[in-house]
Homo-oligomer: A and B are copies of this chain.
Amino acid sequence: MWESLVESVPNVSEGRDRAAIEAMATAIREVTSVRLLDVQSDRDHHRTVFTLVGEPDGVADAILRLFAAALPRIDLRTHRGEHPRMGAVDVVPFVPVRGVTMADCVVLARRVGREVWDRFRVPVYLYEEAATRPERRDLAEIRQGQFEAFPEKIKQPEWAPDFGEPAVHPTAGATVIGAREFLIAFNVNLGTSDLKIAKAIAQAVRGSSGGLRYVKALGLTLEERGIVQVSMNLTNYRKTPLARVVEMVRAEAVRYGVSVVGTEIVGLIPEQALFQAAAHYMGVEQFSPDLVLERRVDSALKGR
């Protein structure tokens, strides 16, 4: 029974060389107190996303081993892919899952960031909840200019790295490490083929254009089904709960005389997000995860 669970989703700038990717996966698997849940490589993006989960110390160890495996195998000077990148190990978020706070993950991000500089001489920026200044919260803003522009960017005082000297690693660039909430990918399918409606609803619900703070959304067509979809990323399900998002999309759909034909959870969803939605819709007065049988059993198992 692991009481403290952290997820990490490192993005590495290698999506083509099977042997290199397998070497990195093996490095992660060597740590007994973590599990590698998923490896997704994209040739066009030339990028691989690893999903691992485990005890905080184990996850920190696995990330450092991943750096050790990735750095000799990736040379950004010759790297060309569709996805923006500034580092060989490009971005490393830590996500609280169970028995761990966001503050714990910020501490973890700082610890790993310092170590990445000390051991590998790769300068590190802290982002999202671990950011040291507001303009460094957003990954896209830090990464702007990419590997090619970084030798100059890093010399500007306002872009001095959080760990390390203001000079990029010759082949591995710089790395972004931080802490964030679990990201839920959630789609709502509409009973129409009119893409304009999906785009209008996406615009209405997403935070950037005036909608819900922690929603990113876009409208797209599902060719095979002949319908359209509002495709969303929920970046903080605690503050912008799933049920509120669904109800806002439904209300907008009604406004266009269109029905919601179904929804989809893409990838994984934390149980807490589902408990929250159930309690919301059923109007439970004093909901607590302690009411859940399996949680109580787990607590009893730990207590022994």
Interface residues of A (CB under 8 A from B): 1-2, 5, 7, 35, 37, 53, 97-98, 182, 189, 242-243, 246, 260, 262-265, 267-271, 274-275, 277-279, 281-287, 291-297, 300-301, 303-304
User: A1, A270, A284: which has the most chain B beta carbons within 10 Å?
Assistant: A284
Out of B5, B271, B287, B301, which one reaches A292, CB within 8 Å? B271
Chain B residues with Cβ under 8 A from A267's Cβ?
291
- C-alpha gap A295/B265 in the complex (Å): 15
Chain B residues with Cβ under 8 A from A271's Cβ?
271, 275, 292-295
Out of B182, B189, B283, B291, which one reaches A293, CB within 8 Å? B182
State the main secondary structure of chain A at its contact with B: mixed
Chain B residues with Cβ under 8 A from A262's Cβ?
283-285
Chain B residues with Cβ under 8 A from A301's Cβ?
2, 35
21 contacts between A and B (CB under 8 A): A5-B297, A35-B303, A97-B297, A98-B294, A182-B293, A189-B285, A243-B281, A246-B282, A260-B283, A263-B282, A263-B285, A265-B284, A265-B287, A267-B291, A268-B296, A270-B293, A271-B271, A271-B294, A271-B295, A274-B292, A275-B278
Chain B residues with Cβ under 8 A from A283's Cβ?
246, 260, 262-263
Chain B residues with Cβ under 8 A from A286's Cβ?
264
Q: Are A268 and B284 in touch, CB under 8 angstroms?
A: no
Chain B residues with Cβ under 8 A from A242's Cβ?
278, 282
Q: Closest B residue to A5 by CB, please name it.
A: B297
Out of B2, B277, B304, which one reaches A282, CB within 8 Å? B277
- C-alpha gap A189/B270 in the complex (Å): 29
- C-alpha gap A70/B235 in the complex (Å): 55
- C-alpha gap A303/B270 in the complex (Å): 20
Q: Are B304 and A35 in touch, CB under 8 angstroms?
A: yes
- C-alpha gap A246/B287 in the complex (Å): 16
- C-alpha gap A274/B269 in the complex (Å): 14
- C-alpha gap A182/B291 in the complex (Å): 14
Q: Closest B residue to A38 by CB, please name it.
A: B296
Q: Are A268 and B282 in touch, CB under 8 angstroms?
A: no
- C-alpha gap A250/B181 in the complex (Å): 35
User: A263, A286, A295, A303: which has the most chain B beta carbons within 10 Å?
Assistant: A263
Chain B residues with Cβ under 8 A from A243's Cβ?
281-282
Chain B residues with Cβ under 8 A from A296's Cβ?
37, 268
Q: Are A297 and B246 in touch, CB under 8 angstroms?
A: no
